Amino acid sequence: MAGDIVGQTWEEVSGSVVEDPDGAVAALFARCETWSGRTVLWSIDNSRQQVPVDWAGMPVFGPGRQLIGFRGFGLLRMDAVQEREIPDAAADLIAQSLVNDETLPFRPPEEIPSEEPAAEPAPSEEETWFSNLRDQVAQALASTNPPEPEPIERDRPAEKPTQTSGLSNAERNAFREIARALGARLEEDAPSPEEAASEELEPVAEAAPSLPPPAGPANGDRILDRLPIGILVHRGESILFANRFLLDLTGYDDIEQIRTDGGLVHLFRGSPALGEAGGEDSALALTNRQNENIAVTVRSSSTDWDGEPADLMVIGKASRVDAPPPSPDSRIHELEAILDTATDGVIVLNETGRILSLNRSAEALFGYDERAVAGDAITVLLAPESHMVALDYLESLRSPGVRSLLNDGREVLGRERQGGSIPLFMTMGRLGDGPNRRFCAVLRDITVFKKAEGELIGAKHAAEEASAQKSDLLAKISHEIRTPLNAILGFAEVMLEERFGAIGNDRYKEYLKDVHASGSHVISLVNDLLDLAKIEAGRLELSFTGVSLNELVSSCVTLLQPQAARDRIVMRTSFAPKLPPVVADERSMRQIVLNLVSNAIKFTDAGGQVIVSTAMTDRGEVAFRVRDTGIGMTPEEVEAALEPFRQLATSRKRGGTGLGLPLTKALVEANRGALQIASQPSEGTLVEVIFPPTRVLAE
């Protein structure tokens, strides 16, 4: 029957071996339907006969209804063999070319006896004939000198030239491709049925019908564009012609785009052996418009183009040969090689936890060869304190319950062959199910991680110890400073009151006032330091009770009102009605309010405003806000102001220790609140103390 059609598509088979007259089978393929009783005509090898085949088939689907292919059978009806029909126009052209013109490429090759034996085995007759045919077709179609028509004597136009032997399968496929390429051009010149009938009435001698000149550039281009192979004509590095197949293959619209991108050098830049391509098919790489390489076969020959010598290249896509699937043994060896390259140790265990195999990383990790520990329990590779951990882990994987799903790994201590110990993180998993199931243990060396963890823990302890020492030092210093300061302040007050007699000079009274003010400032600084140290050390004693925020803020504003009046600053208040109490320490809350309001007064110019308010938010939070129209701060300055002992470099020097905002923030957080600051330079600052709903008491 037909030649080798394995690997061809239905469109290729139906164009060469099988005839599907009405395209019914192709439509069934497209719709993925099941059919039976469909008749196609199948060509018989080395013959012009065709045999009808009653065909039945059905689609085959894989997982997810994915189409895999089709399968079926055909019934050959040998009692209905018929002659294959050839289109009249193509048949006349082929017959006349074979009989009359020896220069055209349709003449079968002549056998030339060789006097000396060839050094290499010659290609088969069909391969040689088809290769010569392809070169000569392109050369004949590119010729610019049309042959002169000659009168011929014929008895009947319908007769075909006789042949001494049947055509081979390659010859018939070549003729069929040529007939399809030339059929469209000859269709309009083919005689009508009436004219053909009149010609058959009586034999006369007449001139052969004039064929459209194949040499004309327009006709030749159209014919070459229909060929199923690429045609490229060049002279040196200058491209003269490229047919449509080659343009589509490379992604170009016309030849000018190829010339713009670099011409012949660009097309074959991935093939340094282009100059070696000759009469034999050479495997080269063709570069398309997207700079991607395409595997092609190229055959070069000489030709004439526009009356001058040129080079002709016949280019075809290289056939792709699918690699055979790997054998199971090669697949196993590949997986073993992958495991050997892994940095983690991999151990395969049987149902009872005995070692079946180790990869190379596990051998290097423990210092054991696989043969030395094969058959031993996995505990031979673990320290005694990790035996129960590993066995319990393995038992949890054997059980069918929830324990088998909680596979989060275990930390174990491995034992080297030399006696050392290695901290490891072990992960186990099941390899299949059934009575002979196996388990896989993956062991990762976490020595580096454990070392880093120890360093972090040590650094944390050192930092905590340093913080505790700092807090203790501050507490001791504060205590030692507060005692003499209290004495200084006490004596200054007694002298100012003149309890034991009058002071003779008023200037001494002014000095005593300065001494008392300075001492009060120092004692305030010491108290702030002591409170900050206690908060950082977690030793600040707070008494949480229900605090009425409106009453506390109102008393603080009343206390600071004289200071605001002296600085000619307007102070306004806005308290939310029926504000519920908050759970906080009253003493520390009073200190928070005093610090924030005094800061607002301090950094607001004369004529400015300070607005103190309380509110209940939509989320159930209680907010205390202080807004001023002072100098304001940038985000960087806000961040610096919240650090201890940092004072802002403002245009005006203000008094202070740099502990106001840091201490306030620490006290707010100690009361389970949050401090938020929003500020703009030259516009003012808004400070908010937010208490979450969990710190708000219900009414």
* Core vs surface per residue 591-603: b (16+ CB within 10 A) or e: bbbbbbbbbbbbb
Looking at residue 104, its pLDDT comes to: 42
Q: Looking at 389, 410, 445, which one is the last position of a domain?
A: 445
In a domain, 192, yes or no: no
Note whether residue 138 is domain-resident: no
* Residue found by looking up tokens 């009575």 in the block: 435
How far is the C-alpha of 526 from the C-alpha of 629, rounded, in Å? 31
CB-CB contact of 547 with 582 (8 Å):
yes
- Tens-place pLDDT, residues 184-210: 444 444 455 444 444 444 444 444 444
The predicted pLDDT at position 583 comes to 94
CA distances for 437 relative to 352, 353, 432, 440, 669, angstroms: 10, 11, 6, 10, 58
Q: Mean pLDDT: which of 153-167, 407-421, 615-629 is highest? A: 615-629
In a domain, 222, yes or no: no
Q: Quick one: 438 and 396 in the same domain?
A: yes
Is the residue at 117 inside a domain? no
SS3 685: strand
Least confident of 85-94, 224-233, 382-391, 553-562: 85-94
Q: End of a domain among 395, 424, 445? A: 445
Q: Which two tokens stand for residue 582?
A: 């908050």
The number of folded domains in the chain is 5
- Give tens-digit pLDDT for 541-596: 888 999 999 999 999 999 999 999 999 999 999 999 989 999 999 989 999 999 99
Residue 610 belongs to a domain: yes
Is the pLDDT score of 126 beyond 50? Answer: no
Q: 29: pLDDT confidence band, cut at 50, 70 and 90? A: confident
DSSP-derived letter for residue 403 is: G
The answer as to whether 651 is a domain residue is yes
For residues 100 and 633, give the distance between their C-alpha atoms in angstroms, rounded to a whole number.
103
The reply to whether 491 and 618 lie within a common domain is: no
Does 388 lie in the same domain as 247?
A: no
- 576 shares its domain with 673: yes
Q: Are 429 and 411 in contact (CB under 8 A)?
A: no
Closest CA to 637 of 615, 620, 661, 665: 661
Enclosing domain of residue 285:
229-317
pLDDT category of residue 109 using cuts at 50, 70 and 90: very low
Same domain, 472 and 426: no
Cα–Cα dist 101/105, whole Å: 9
Q: What is the pLDDT of residue 58?
A: 83
* 105 is a domain residue: no
Q: Is the pLDDT higher at 359 or at 107?
A: 359
Whether residues 670 and 586 share a domain: the answer is yes
Q: Which CATH number is 336's domain given?
A: 3.30.450.20
**Alpha carbon distance 10, 40 (integer Å):** 12
List all residues 6 or more positions away from 189 whose beta carbon is below 8 Å from its beta carbon: 89, 209, 211, 212
* Beta strands 230-235 and 206-207, pairing class: unpaired
Please say which residue of 475, 506, 534 terminates a domain: 534
Shared-domain flag, residues 601 and 673: yes
Helix, strand, coil distribution of the chain in percent, nearest 5: 40, 25, 35
Residues 489 and 510 in one domain: yes
For residue 466, the domain's CATH number is 1.10.287
- 355 and 404 both lie in a single domain: yes
Residues 338 and 395 in one domain: yes
Distance, CA of 513 to chain centre: 76
Mean pLDDT across 221-248: 87
The band of 94, judged by pLDDT with boundaries at 50, 70 and 90, is: very low
Q: What is the pLDDT of residue 324?
A: 58
Q: Which residue has the tokens 């001139």?
A: 207
Mean pLDDT of the chain: 77
- Are 419 and 504 contained in the same domain? no
**Residue 664, by phi and psi: left (phi above 0), alpha (psi -120 to 50) or beta?**
alpha
Kindly state whether residues 364 and 415 are assigned to the same domain.
Answer: yes
Element (H, E) at 219: helix 217-226
Is 2 among the domain residues? no
Backbone angles phi, psi at 13, to 5 degrees: -70, -45
Which domain CATH number covers 554?
A: 3.30.565.10
Residue 462 has pLDDT above 80, yes or no: yes
At 579, phi and psi to the nearest 5? -75, 125
